[in-house]
Amino acid sequence: MDFFEQQDCARRKTTTLVVYFVLAVVLIILGVYGAVASILLYLGRSNPDATVSIWNPQLFLLVAGSTLALVILGTLYKIATLKSGGYVVAQALGGVLIDPDTTDQDERKVLHVVEEMAIASGTAVPPVYVMPQESAINAFAAGFTPADAVIGVTQGCITQMTRDELQGVIAHEFSHILNGDMRLNIRLMGILHGILLIGMMGYIILRGSLYGSRRHSRNQREGNNAAIPLIGLALVAIGFVGLFFGKLIKSAVSRQREFLADASAVQFTRNPNGIACALKRIGASAEGSKIQNPHAQETSHLFFSNGIGAALFNAMATHPPLAQRIKRIDPAFDGNFQVKNKPKRQAQQKPPKTKAQSSRFDPTHVLHQIGTPGVEHILYAAALLESLPHPIKKAVHNPFGARAVIYALLLDPSQKIRENQLNRLAAHADKQVVQLTQVASKMVNQLEDKSRLPVVELAIPALKQLSDKQHDIFMANLKALIEADDHVSLFEYALYRMLKHHLPKPGEKVNQTKVRYIKLGEVIEPCSVLLSALAHGGHDQDAAIEAAFNQGAQSLGTEQIKRIRPKTGFIDLKRVDQAIQQLKSASPQVKKQIISACLKCVGADSKVTVSEFELFRAIADSLDCPIPPWIR
């Protein structure tokens, strides 16, 4: 399956999840009613005048309504708490954000691997959290979209693993980000919370009734009040039923996705030893992969390896057995978990000659690479990171330097416009940032075109640490610098689009876009805007613009699409933003058609510049379709 089919598959899994959830709720309602009715029936036998029946419609409606309300409210509450993004999960698990500017060697190792993977896969660099209290070996990815994703690793993971093993684990987690598993997993957390609340409520009732019973006489306890602790006890028992269904649902949703993520990690790194040895190291470790945090149970399906105790039945486990996973990667595995030889570093090899490296731009090949980057992209990312000047790499890892580098990238070559831009910063930016901008401007001028957008991607984790006020000032300055010359270039819009997508206000809820458009005909107008921006942005002559637009339009197979001529410059920030916002609600298969049309438009003359391709990548990234870098 390609990237878009994987997204559809994740959506279908969500539907399956809802079906399981409804079934579990129905059975829990029946269980609660049966328990309450049985208790009342038992107590009613002591009263010869009472009419006793196991079926009571009024009682059933009361029990069903109360249970359903409790489950729904619990689910909605949990979903609301998770809406701020993946960092909520990381913090609940005791995760501590690794400072992008850290000097700790183990932390730098994991950050470097994550940066490499992000650039290679075309996603923004996610923040990384370490769980310092966890000595076991494990990791996870959490979030609704690549824009709010975080990577979490245990202390044992970063201290006990070699770089190649760590690369295999991180590649596995990036697969979950790219394949849509991450969103499915975090939704699963919210939905299952409502089911598990029944047991929690039973525990509260039982504890409260037992405490209250000490304050009443024996005669009072023998009356109707005796039903309360029995109901609490029954709800606790039913809570175990909810726990059973929770594990069953998690197993049904996640087990096969783990096999897929392992296979994707091998494809990504072309180094099966990396992830195989990581799994063996878990099997050989005394701590294994078990997480001690009390939230491990509800987040067990997020982890790289089983984060809780062994399941009562293997079919209910959230992860396949270690030996089975290793055997699929290494058919020669003999059951011995000891890591015998240190894997060789694949990144030291030369990238294989691929079609993507030819001078001819192939839109079909680029389309097939979405969500499935290869080792050539990792090698490309590693070489690019190595080529960046050290002061730039250091600067983008802290909030002051990151802002300065971004501002410096937008300073105009024209002396007059540049002075106006610096005056704007002097009036509205932090004094230290302005000084750093002037220093950074000399270094960013030496960057190759292909390195500029990756530098922006590297700065994103540091920029996510800005306060509300700093964020607003930064985004306002960003727009002012871009519009200083009344002209929006390809790179300027790509930078603006990427930062706007990945830098919501601190604490802002993640916009979970629902699929609203399942037919291309429903989004013709925003498609016209997008193709027009790409055609005008990549060409100067009207004939070339028309030809590029027509190439994209023809691939959509509709005559309704018409080219839109820009009023000023060649990119209308507001109009393109509105188009992208609408296209976010398209189904994966409609997005595939749109991305394919954009590629045909960009490659119409087979002469694709770095700026053209980076603009396309920024637009695709905003549609949550990360594009690996184009290797020439």
Taking alpha carbons only, the member of 539, 140, 500 closest to residue 531 is 539
CA distance 175 to 152: 14
Three-state secondary-structure class, residue 131:
strand
Pairing label, strands 96-97, 128-131: antiparallel
Q: Which uninterrupted H or E stretch holds 142?
A: strand 139-142
Token pair recorded at residue 601: 């438009």
Tokens for 33, please give them. 């009613």
Is 318 in a helix, a strand, or coil? coil
CA 479 to chain centre: 27
Q: What is the 3-state secondary structure (H, E, C) of 368-409?
A: HHCCCCCHHHHHHHHHHHHHCCHHHHHHCCCHHHHHHHHHHH
Instruction: In whole angstroms, give the CA distance from residue 131 to residue 158.
Output: 10
Strand 150-154 with 128-131, pairing = parallel
Which of 233, 249, 184, 205 minimizes the C-alpha distance to 70?
Answer: 205
Strands 128-131 and 139-142: unpaired
Q: How far apart are CA 596 and CA 364, in angstroms?
A: 8
Nearest to 136 by CA among 112, 111, 113, 153: 153
Catalytic: 612?
Answer: no
> 190 has which bridge partners?
none
The sheet carrying 150-154 orders its strands as: 96-97, 128-131, 150-154, 139-142
> Helical H runs in 214-226?
218-221
Asked whether the beta carbons of 549 and 619 are under 8 A apart, the reply is: no
Q: Which position among 173, 258, 298, 614 bears the catalytic label? A: 173
d(C-alpha 298, C-alpha 303), whole Å: 11
Residues annotated as catalytic (active site), given as ranges = 173
